Amino acid sequence: MSKNESLTYEGDEEEGSAIDMVDTFDRPGDAYAEGAYARAGTYGGKRIPKTGVYAKAGYGRAGAEYSIFKAVAKGPNASAGAEASLVKAGAMARAELASVSANAGPVRMKLGLGVDTGASVGVNGVEAKFLGTGFSIGPKTSVSVLGSELSFSVL
């Protein structure tokens, strides 16, 4: 997990925001595909004290991006992680049969079958999910039902 990843624990699904469009509107096209994958580790903060742990594994994922657009397809996968800092605390576990997601700037849609369960709270808002159904309120506002999600990110 990179230093920039949050409790989403999925670097290939980092959500764009209205502000991020300034950095991505001229992004060249790129694509990737991967078979089996597994990653685990810990991370800490540089300026804001924080610590976190994560693990993820799955089989089959592919993605493409161009300008402010991004699409990702994933096969069976599971992940878990926890983070604590001066400004945020949370934990999330995910198991997913399959999903496809698309970002257009700050708007993201995901269609999948998953059972995300966990919560986080901090200065950037609140998130709560149980068996893939839940919400987040803050700069990222979203609604999830059984692993499918619609979200909008301002910052």
Q: 61 lies in a domain? A: yes
Q: 38 lies in a domain? A: yes
d(CA 44, CA 112): 31
d(CA 1, CA 21): 23
Q: 30 lies in a domain? A: yes
- Please give the pLDDT value at position 122: 96
Q: 60 lies in a domain? A: yes
Asked whether residue 19 carries a pLDDT value surpassing 90, the answer given is no
User: If pLDDT is split at 50, 70 and 90, which confidence band does 23 have?
Assistant: confident
Q: 103 lies in a domain? A: yes
d(CA 127, CA 150): 14
Q: 83 lies in a domain? A: yes
Q: 41 lies in a domain? A: yes
Q: 133 lies in a domain? A: yes
User: If pLDDT is split at 50, 70 and 90, which confidence band does 48 have?
Assistant: confident
Domain count for the chain:
1
